[in-house]
Amino acid sequence: MGEWVHLTAADGHGFEAYRSTPPQESLGAIVVVQEIFGVNSHIRSVTDRFAAAGYTALAPAYFDRIEPRVELDYDPEGVARGRSLKAEVGYEQAMLDTGAAVARLISETHKVAVVGYCWGGDLAWLAASELPIAAAVAYYGGGIVNLLDRKPHAPLMLHFGETDQAIPLESVGKIAEAVPKVPLHLYPAGHGFNCDQRASYHQASADLAFERSLEFLRRHLH
């Protein structure tokens, strides 16, 4: 369903993004923001799933700034490499790439949302604060608690796991307190519960979060 396309960020950096197009007329567009594991088979499948639901979906390869076509496994080596790459790219450069993806989709007359997972959840929060988007959805963004000075202006939905060892419930509470009008959903699951390639995958929570996200996106993108 998908193909690789080329984008250029505002600082001149050229990079790839995985694009998936719906079989019928698009209902809007979604920038799918990766975890720390690159645009791997899981993120491509998420992108395809949004396309199957009717949306043009685009997943930027943020790690292209360091190394092209990074795809990491969900093992200790993948985690260590992903954390290193994430730190090297940083929020500022990642947001330049997010902005390029948003601009490409807006140029095609789409309303655009950003949906991010893990590190991508942090970037979805920043996108809701900084970019001209219609909505954002953040899944288990562990760094959001450190970004509470950046106030989202776009409609936002948040998903967290109750047993997420990487994101204490205390942090989730701080986020909820900072944005009391933002829908924040807790699930009986751990970190990465949406990813069917992880041991922490929790299908019931993943399915419910996806349905809630689709309803939210329908409201703001159509």
Q: Is 118 a catalytic residue?
A: yes
The catalytically annotated residue of 191, 195, 202, 220 is 191
Q: Is 164 a catalytic residue?
A: yes
Beta bridge partners of 136: 114, 156
The catalytically annotated residue of 122, 159, 164, 195 is 164
How would DSSP label each residue in 32-74? EE--TTBS-HHHHHHHHHHHHTT-EEEEE-GGGGTSTT-B--S
The catalytically annotated residue of 118, 122, 195, 202 is 118
Q: How many angstroms separate the Cα of 44 from the Cα of each of 56, 78, 208, 222? A: 13, 17, 20, 24
Task: Single out the residue of 192, 115, 197, 185 nearest to residue 154, CA to CA.
Answer: 115
Q: Is 202 a catalytic residue?
A: no
Q: Give catalytic residues, as residue numbers.
A: 118, 164, 191
